Amino acid sequence: MSKRKSRETHMLLGECLSQAQKILRRRFCHQDVPAMPAGLDSQHKHLLELLRRTAVHGESNSVLIVGPRGSGKTMLLSYVLRELLEEKDVNKNVLQVHLNGLLQTDDRIALKEITRQLNLENVVGDKVFGSFAENLAFLLEALKKGNRSSSRPVFFILDEFDLFAHHKNQTLLYNLLDVSQSAQAPVAVVGLTCRLDVLELLEKRVKSRFSHRQIHLLSALTFRQYLEVVCTQLSLPSDFPDSRFSEEWNNSVRKLTEDKSVEDVLQKHFNISKDFRSLHVLLLLALSRVTTSSPAIQPTDLVEARRLCAADYKANILHGLSILELCLIIAMKHLNEIYEGEPFNFQMVYNEFKKFISRKSRSIHNFEKPVVMKAFEHLQQLELVKPMEASTTKIQREYQLMKLLLDHSQIMESLQRYPQCPTDVKQWAASAFA
Amino acid sequence: MPLQLQHEGYSEEKLGLLAEKITCRETQASTLLALLGEPDHYTYPSIFIYGHHASGKSHVTECIMKELELPHVTVSCVECVSAGLLFEQVVMGLYGSEATALLPRSSSILDFVRVYKQLSSQEPSYQTRYIILDRAQLLRDMEANLLPGFLRLQELVDDNVTVIFLSEIVWDKFRPSTGCFEPVVLHFPDYNKGELHQILTLDSHPSYSPELYSSFINIMLGVFYSVCRDLRELRHLAALNFSKFCEPLERGEVKETDTHKLWKNIEPHLKKAMQTVYLREVSSVQWEEQQQKEEKEAGALKGLSAYAHVELPYYSKFLLIAAYLASYNPARTDRRFFLKHHGKLKKTNFMKKHEKTSNHLLGPKPFPLDRLLAIFYSVVDNRVAPTASVFSQISSLVTLQLLTQVGHDDQLDAPKYKCAVSLDFIQAIARTLSFDIVRYLYDFL
């Protein structure tokens, strides 16, 4: 009897965990719009007020949201839009056009996309007819015909705004901002960008039509607030079906953030960057280690996740090289030290390596030159060494000038971690003038 | 004892089958599996897996996808010379071949995203779809917006889709200048010696005992491990050389337990293999043939590089020698080498080498045509008229890539050349003319 009961609770536990994972993964991976963006109150108010003025009063506006990658630009905007669309008179009234600089790589494509998203008359199915000039004239006419009181306001949302500035003549930006400046149909142009110097990219005539309203999302979080964010990000919402489980989970999360080692890990992460996306990666890696056998996030999980995040990529690659390739890298390091960063070619590296073999080494036997060449080419393939010039056919392979893309300390450190490294190789690496 | 894979989303039976297929990659597989989560959960938009050649990156991901029956498509970026082909393959793999009709010819990423959205709304899937891009380093050479586009594909198409990148090159070299959506980066470490041994012994020969094969692998790793850690290469070498290893057994000279004799028999053979088969000098078919014909010594067969010598006309040989001397000797020593009565040169001054390294280290230097002809006339004994055929031989040496022309500014007026042959090659040519070239080289004085 008791056995069956325990199994039942176990099953339930599994389901609860699955549910919890589902919710949290949605939050971390899909960038779910949260209840309220943290630490962005004034920006939120500013943007909401601006968009509401367009939507309700028919005022034309333009604004740029500027912030580093992962600082929550898209999240803030979608939160504001959701809030705005909940209002009844706005919901029916507003049209939205979403453009992305990665997708709409030139103005022609962007214009087609606009007409498609606005469902104008020259759209049949999802095909757009007409040339670029016709499309533009048509669109501008449609926008011009409208006025403040009668026509519906349009939100133009330009993701990766800086890429639009690279289009020829910046025609699209010019026309959109021109419409927003003159008394035509009410539009709001919202640009999202991660470049702080984005205004320098604009042409003078485009710049003069832009309202110079910028919202900066430069994170001013202190570490205390950061911990709070971690706590809220990890805790389950109040409408979770199993209230007892969610309570336990939230308690364990609170306990977790008070743990000393966890605080250490988060402090390190915080010192590197404050953006939410790298935090999400960390939390996701920790979350993925939760199973039925350990149904809550442990401090060790977070430490392990941090270890995965913070690994040095190049050191990992160096770890997997063969002894011969490692010797070549050490020879290059010596050449760099002797000739102070001058480029080298294969012949010089081979000479240095041969000197080492003849004088010092007992553990490594003599290799033929083509074998060494093969190892050298493998290093080139891994992009640990790079040719100075791109032309490859003109010069013999041995005499092509190369440079090493590794740091002195990186080499020494990975040499320490190298499994079963012969002692004479280590000594050779340590003494520059051997 | 292999580690047991655990996951709530899948039945134990499937996981057991999966674990059988994966050797020595259990920790990586379980990390990846945990990251992917249950089939209906969201997964992080992009996962970047890097590791050395043949460290099981594609094998593990492919096994996970196949055994757990997840909707996925694997595309090798080598095959896709244009982005349009890549999109076509992705759409075909996920939605079947009829769906590709929706894509226009030479489609851009916008078309792809639009078609994908349309298709995913037609047949919504409750499972995560996976797009696996093998050899992702080639994506960097395609259009600039392709890699950032794939990194945030989940956001762009608004579907439960994850892109997995497989590459040998570290993530730092992928990042575009304005940044992008950062993926989760996973590392597949190299196999250590024990693991290599364990994997290689898996394909043992049926007619011999596994212990014998394992001792063979041990010997082979002893020879090759310091040069090569590539599993694929090692496996190839093992397959080629095992029959040679077994020969004394077949003849009944040695028993299986006598490892030392077997080692003595095979070791020189393996060392020879490193200089021939490993460098692809001798093809594996040739190598096998040669092993059967025992009378021939291994390596007696000419490799590819032995065919490097070319038959040249008499004057062309001298022209090439003159070019080599002009490339590798400094111009100020020409008087000393090639003039009969060069007057008094201070010996100390001449021998002082202020170059820190020899020219054979730094590579050939360019020289003008006049200098080439001057040296040519001094090394050729008899009188040669500067006919058209001499000049045409120079330009034919350029087309044979034995000389290269430096700086394309002028074809007729004082062109400059470089000599592009190795010392061995020029020595072989000089021998046919019984000309002692080393005596004329400054570096070997």
Each residue's pLDDT tens digit, B289-327: 776 665 455 555 666 666 667 788 999 999 999 999 999
Return the higher-pLDDT residue of A202 and B254.
A202
Yes or no: say if B74 and B132 are a contact pair by the CB < 8 Å rule.
Answer: yes
Yes or no: say if B417 and B371 are a contact pair by the CB < 8 Å rule.
Answer: no
Q: Tell me which residue in A29, A104, A371 faces B227 most closely, judged by beta carbons.
A: A371
Return the higher-pLDDT residue of B305 and B57.
B57
Sheet of A154-159: strand order equals A95-100, A154-159, A187-193, A61-66, A214-216
Where b means 16+ CB within 10 Å and e means fewer, A41-56 reads eebbeebbebbbbbbb
- Chain B nearest CA to A195, separation (Å): 8
Q: What is the mean pLDDT of chain A?
A: 84
| Helical H segments across B55-137, by residue range | 57-67, 83-95, 109-122
- Residue A7's pLDDT band, with cuts at 50, 70 and 90, is very low
R_g of chain A, CA atoms, integer Å: 30
Which 211-240 residues of chain B touch chain A by CB within 8 A? Answer: 225-229
Measure the CA–CA gap between A282 and B305, rounded to whole angstroms. Answer: 53
Q: Which helix (H) or strand (E) holds B148?
A: helix B146-151
Tokens of B261: 């004799």
Measure the CA–CA gap between A283 and A279, rounded to whole angstroms. Answer: 6
Q: What is the mean pLDDT of chain B?
A: 84
Chain B residues lying within 8 Å of A104, measured CB to CB: 110
Domains in chain B with CATH codes: 12-187 (3.40.50.300), 193-302 (no CATH), 314-444 (1.10.10)
pLDDT at A56 over 50: yes
Q: Taking CB atoms and an 8 Å limit, are A396 and B420 in contact across chains?
A: yes
Q: Which of B134, B59, B124, B129 is nearest to B94 (CA)?
A: B129
pLDDT at A6 over 70: no
Chain B residues lying within 8 Å of A161, measured CB to CB: none
- CA distances from residue B313 to B22, B71, B316, B422 in whole angstroms, order as listed: 60, 65, 5, 19
Each residue's pLDDT tens digit, B318-376: 999 999 999 998 888 888 888 876 665 555 555 555 544 577 888 889 999 999 999 99
Q: Taking CB atoms and an 8 Å limit, are B227 and A324 in contact across chains?
A: yes
Q: Taking CB atoms and an 8 Å limit, are B109 and A347 in contact across chains?
A: no
pLDDT at B279 over 70: yes
Using the 8-state DSSP alphabet, how is residue B42 labeled?
A: -
Task: Quote the Cα angle for A415-A421-A424, to 5°.
Answer: 95
- Residue A5's pLDDT band, with cuts at 50, 70 and 90, is very low
* Nearest-Cα residue of chain A relative to residue B406: A394
Each residue's pLDDT tens digit, B192-236: 899 999 999 888 888 888 888 898 899 889 888 888 888 999 999
Beta strands in B174-271 (DSSP E): 184-188
Q: Taking CB atoms and an 8 Å limit, are A28 and B44 in contact across chains?
A: yes
pLDDT at A130 over 80: no
Range A229-246 average pLDDT: 85
- CA distances from residue A118 to A54, A164, B53, B88 in whole angstroms, order as listed: 17, 20, 50, 28
Beta strands in B172-255 (DSSP E): 184-188
The SS3 assignment for B241 reads helix
Yes or no: say if B173 and B141 are a contact pair by the CB < 8 Å rule.
Answer: no
Percent of chain A with pLDDT over 90: 19
Task: Quote the Cα angle for A331-A336-A342, to 5°.
Answer: 130
pLDDT at A147 over 70: no
Q: What is the ipTM of this complex?
A: 0.90
> Can you give the pLDDT at residue B73?
93
Range A336-350 average pLDDT: 90
